[in-house]
Every structure is written in structure tokens, then in C-alpha cells.
Amino acid sequence: MKVLFQHLKKYRFETVLSTIFVAIMVISQLWQPKLLQQVLDAIMDDDMDQISSIGIILIVVAVIGLIAGILNTVISAKVAQGVGADIRESTFRKVQTFSFSNIERFSTGNLVVRQTNDITQVQNLVMMSLQSLTRIPIMFIGSFILAMVTLPELWWVIIVLVVLVVLIVMITFSAMGRHFAKIQHFLDRVNAIAKENLAGMRVVKSFVQEDNEIERFTKTSDKLTHHTIIVGTLFSVMIPAFMLVSNLAVVVSIYFVGDMVKDNPELIGAIASFMNYLMQIMMAIIIGGMMMMFASRAFISLGRIGEVLDTEPDITYDPDAKEEDLAGSVEFRDVSFRYENDDQDALSHISFEAQPGEMVGIVGATGAGKSTMAQLIPRLYDPTDGEILIGGKNLKQLNKKTLRESVALVLQRALLFSGTISDNLRHGKKDASEADMDKTTSIAQAKEFIEKQDKIYEAAVAERGTNFSGGQKQRLSISRGVIGDPKILILDDSTSALDARSEKLVKEALNKELNHTTTFIIAQKISSVIHADKILVLDAGRLVGVGSHKELVQTSEVYREIYETQKGKDVEA
């Protein structure tokens, strides 16, 4: 609840105003049955002047209640939407501070549901609370007292009605409560499966897995449907049960008042007023019960949002660290790293040093730890043991902006954001000019296809860059990586989708234009790193060789095996 109260503080005035309008509306509803009773009494006395004057008051009171109700709804909606937007922004900001480990702990689909469906549940709770939280106690207590005053002889009917309705609410809502958490869980799973399927549609179709994916989705969807139907069934039983109890209360009241009216005809007006108050008592309990039902689901959502907001990022930066201009040297000192929940180290006791301007190749079999090493340099993960230094400074002591401006990482899986080409390039440098774009796209061999676009750098980029080929996306990603002129550039197999000629041109341009930049090239192919100043050979998370190509062919069995497997001699020739 602290998440909700924290964001409601911003809307104190609107909340108070909404509460006042609710109070006015409820007082209007409570006053109307009394006025109606007076009208009926005046009709019995054939007093037309009294009927007219009370009738006008009744209309005025009803109009005031209507206006108060409308204003309350408008203000409640404004507050609910505002609180929802604020929580959504806070959650999104928090997620941006997460490390890869934090995100993997929640999963992408889970975080999406928490920022959409869960926040919608909280919005509904705020809206309903501002409309009903004040209304329920005033309506219940007021109707209860006025019903007792109107026909004190039937006090026991009111008590029985309240007890029965409360019992129905407790039984149905206790049964519903345990299903809401399961509904949110299976909603997460449905979202995750749908997201995976849409993102991997080419794989699904190429392996003819449509039926299997449909079956997997249907199983989870059926479980979600099962729990949703249970909640819906309980809800559909609850409302008729309320109506049955209230109608029985009315019938019982009329039965016992029948004999009383013979002796005292003036009770005709009282019985009408009494019935109205009975209905209002029942409505107060029903609204309260419905609020409890929605609240129980919203509290689960609040808890899930709270988990995100209360999660401390695994990686934090020293707030007192100053921005500085770093040299491009990189040093690993006895670095080990283990992923969360893994039994073995992904990297074990890695030590090496790269000087500014050097080109360093990293090779090894699949799963050797190449990409893990690459992700440690820009501090996407922190090492389990040991330390990493850039420009002679420990990564943990660096200012975040300094680190981000010094290190650029280009991943194998090129990810573009929807927008324009210039928008994507400016991720690497916020104030990049067209001249900067021309230079970097020339280096990445992307300029040739960009200039064919109608709007050149303002050409549209579809979601995930689906309107570009794999090679084009990789070239745009390389352009984005080098546009900020980083001191350290990491290419994680980021030319894998390029043809041999384009890959050669990219590397020649990098050597010529970025000769002051320390470049790490992670590659599966020896030919991609054969001319590197230094090559690191990884095997099962261990550094088993360091040196130039000629040195490693002579000294490293692992490197020589990879080289011979790829017929490296022919490539070199």
C-alpha cells in the first residue's frame, strides 16, 4: 500500500474534493426517502401545498446529488489515471536501472504484465475507492439509523438482512481471493508465450511448429480461463443471492407491517421510506463487497508492482564519482564470473591487459564465455571475483556517464528501435550531426543502402527493424556503436550476417578511422581476428592462450584445433 499512498500524495486536493462530493451525494440519497415519506403523508392528508413544496425540495436534492455524483466521477477518473501514469513511469524508470541479472530474475514478459495489467488493476482500485470508500460507511450507517428511526418495530429485519448479506460476501470473496493470484500468474505465462511466438515466428514456421505452439498456448490459456470462470461463476451467484435476501426482507417487512397499518394508516409513508433504506443498506454492503473483491485483486497487483520498485539493482554507481576522460586500456585481474543459480563459473580466473588502440580478438568454442567477457567490460554484469580496470580505474569506481561514453558494445543480435534511422544512431550520441552520421555509416558500410531510402536518415524503422535485412541491421548497429567515438569498442560477433567483402571493408574502415580506439572483436571465425594485435583464446571459461595469430598457432592446442577445423591456412593465404 505504501506504493499507492506515496503517489496519492500528489493528488491530496483532488482526493479531498472527491470525498466531499461523495458525502454530498450520499446525504442526498439518504434524505430522499424521508422527503418521499413526507410527500406520501401529505397525499394521505390531501395537502397540495405541502406536496408541491416538498416535491420541489425533493427535485432540488436529487439534482444536487446527481451533480455531486458526476463531479466525483470526473475527479476520481482524473486521479486514477494520474496515479496509474505516475506508477507506470516510476516502474519503467526502476526497470531502466536494473542489471541483466535483475531483468532475467523477473523475465521480460512478467515485467510487461506488471507495467500494464497490474497497473490497470491499481487504477481501478483508486477509481473505486474515491467513489465508494467514503460512500459505503456513510450510506450504511445513515441508512441503518434512519431505518431504525422510521420503523423501530422491525429492527430485527435489518439485523438479519445485514448478517445474511455479510455472510454471502465473506463466503464468495474468500473463495474468489485465492484465484486472483493464479489469474495474474497465468496471465504472465500467456503474455510470455505470445511474445516468444510472435518474436520467433520465422523459426516456428520454418520448423512447422504451429500446432505445437498452439497446443502450448492453449494449455496455459485454458488454465487462465478456468480460474477466470470460477471467479465469474461466484460473482454471478453472489448478485442473485443479494437480490433474494433483499426481496425476502421486503416481503417479511410488508407482512408484519400489514397488521400495523390497519391500526395506524400513517405508517404507509413510513413503510415506503423503510424499504428504501433497506435497499440502501443492501447496496452499501454489495458495493463494499464488490470493492473488497476488486481490492483483493488490486492488492496482489500492488504487491507485484512493489516487488519491482523495492528491488535493488545488482549494479550501482558511486554518486560521488566525477566525470573524467579515460584512456582506452582494459585490464582483467583474476576475474571470475558465475551466473545466478548456476553451479559452475562461466569465467574462471581471467587475467590479461589490452593497451589503448590495440585490436584484441576473442575466440573459443560455443559456450566458452566470449560474450560473458564482453558484457563485463561495459559493466552489464559485475564479476563474482577479481576486478576489471579501464584506464587504470576500477569499473566500480567510475561515473556511469563516463563508463557509457568510454565503452560501446555492438551485439550479434542487432536490435533497432521503432522510429527513424537518425533516432537509432542518436542512441550512440544524443547530439549527433548529419556529418557524424555520414562518417560512421561509411565506416560500417551502411551509407550505401541508407542513401537509397527516400528520406535518408529520416527513413522509418519498423518495430525491431523488421524492414531491414539482418546484414543491414548489423551495419546500423555498428554505426550506432562507433558514432560516439568510444575509447573502447566491443564487437560481439556483430559482422556475422555480413558477406565476406562487406566484413572486410568494415574492418579496414575501423582500423583506419578508429586506430585510437581499443577494439575487442569476438568471433567464431579465425579469419575475423587473424590480423588482431592480440588474440585471447577461451576454453570452458578459462583463458588458455594469449598472443598473436602466429604465436598461438605454435603454442595453443585449442587455437590450432579451431584454426585447422576452419581451414585457417587457406583463409590466411
Asked if 163 and 262 sit in the same domain, the reply is yes
Is 481 inside any structural domain?
yes
More confident residue, 148 or 180: 148
Least confident range of 73-77, 309-313, 434-438, 499-503: 499-503
Based on the fold, state whether residues 305 and 340 are members of the same structural domain. Answer: no
Q: Residue 299 has what pLDDT?
A: 83
Cα(550)–Cα(557) distance, rounded to whole angstroms?
Answer: 13
Same domain, 415 and 366: yes
Q: Note whether 156 and 200 are same-domain residues.
A: yes
Helices 155-199 and 210-263: crossing angle, nearest 10°? 170
Cell of 323: 566525470
- Measuring CA to CA, how many Å separate 54 from each of 391, 465, 480? 87, 70, 76
* pLDDT tier at 75, thresholds 50, 70, 90: very high
Q: What is the tens place of the pLDDT at every residue in 342-357?
A: 888 889 999 999 898 8
Which CATH number does the domain housing residue 501 bear? 3.40.50.300
Q: Is the dihedral of CA 401, 405, 407, 412 positive or negative?
A: positive
Torsion of CA 515, 517, 520, 525, to 10 degrees: -20
Long-range own/partner contacts, residues 466-471 (CB < 8 A, 24 or more apart): 468/416, 469/497, 470/414, 470/497, 471/497, 471/498, 471/499, 471/502
pLDDT of residue 424: 86
Residues 347 and 262 in one domain: no
Shared-domain flag, residues 113 and 153: yes
What average pLDDT does the chain have?
A: 83
Amino acid 57: pLDDT: 87
Kindly state whether residues 21 and 127 are assigned to the same domain: yes
Residue 377 to residues 30, 329, 332, 395, 408: CA-CA distances in angstroms? Answer: 69, 11, 9, 8, 9
CA angle at residue 508 from 503 to 513, to 5 degrees?
125
pLDDT at 71: 92
Of 275, 310, 345, the domain-final residue: 310
Q: Does some domain include residue 315?
A: no
Task: Examine the fold and report which residue of 252, 279, 310 is the final residue of a domain before the chain moves on.
Answer: 310
Report yes or no on 322 lying in a domain.
Answer: no
Average the pLDDT over 38-52 and give the result.
76
The per-residue pLDDT for 99 is 79
Domain that holds residue 358: 330-572
What is the arithmetic mean of pLDDT over 61-71?
A: 90
Domain assignment present for 398: yes
Q: Is residue 526 part of a domain?
A: yes
Q: Is the pLDDT of residue 161 over 60?
A: yes
- Which CATH number covers residue 103? 1.20.1560.10
With a cut of 60, say whether residue 534 has pLDDT above it. Answer: yes
> Residue 316: inside a domain, yes or no?
no
What is the pLDDT at residue 228? 87
Q: How confident is the model at residue 569 (pLDDT cuts 50, 70, 90)?
A: very low
pLDDT number for residue 74: 92
Q: How far, in Å, are 148, 389, 462 from residue 333 at the CA level?
A: 82, 8, 42
Banded pLDDT at 192 (limits 50, 70, 90): confident
pLDDT at 505 over 90: no
pLDDT at site 568: 47
Does residue 98 share a domain with residue 159? Answer: yes
Amino acid identity for residue 163 in this structure: V
Higher-confidence residue: 516 or 497? 516
Mean pLDDT of 310-337: 85
The answer to whether residues 358 and 419 belong to one domain is: yes
Residue 509 pLDDT > 60, yes or no? yes
Q: Please state the rounded mean pLDDT for residues 51-67.
A: 87
Q: How many CA atoms lie within 13 A of 409 on its CB side?
A: 17
In this predicted structure, the answer to whether residue 572 has a pLDDT above a threshold of 70 is no
**Same domain, yes or no, for 275 and 405?**
no
pLDDT of residue 573: 45
Residue 148's alpha-carbon distances to 117, 243, 458, in angstroms, are: 44, 21, 74
pLDDT band at 239 (very low <50, low <70, confident <90, very high): confident
Q: What pLDDT score was predicted for residue 261?
A: 66
Structural domain includes residue 319: no
Confidence of residue 67 (pLDDT cuts 50, 70, 90): very high
Query: Mean pLDDT across the stretch 261-274?
Result: 71
The residue to which cell 589490452 is assigned:
354
Domain total of the chain: 2
**How far is the C-alpha of 157 from the C-alpha of 248, rounded, in Å?**
10
Q: Of the candidates 243, 278, 310, which is a domain's last residue?
A: 310
Q: Tell me the mean pLDDT in the region 517-540.
A: 86
Radius of gyration, CA atoms only, the chain: 35
52 & 131 share domain:
yes
CB contact at 8 A, 75 and 130: yes
- Of the candidate ranges 94-103, 342-351, 496-505, the one whose mean pLDDT is the lowest: 496-505
Question: How far apart (Å, rounded) are the C-alpha atoms in residues 516 and 487?
Answer: 7
- For residues 236 and 339, give the distance between their C-alpha atoms in angstroms, rounded to a whole number: 48
β strands within 463-557, DSSP E: 488-492, 518-522, 534-539, 542-547
Please enumerate in sequence order all residues whose Cβ is within 8 A of that of 332, keeping only pairs 6 or more positions apart, or say none.
Answer: 350, 351, 352, 353, 373, 386, 388
Tell whether 321 is covered by a domain: no
Whether 282 and 395 map to the same domain: the answer is: no
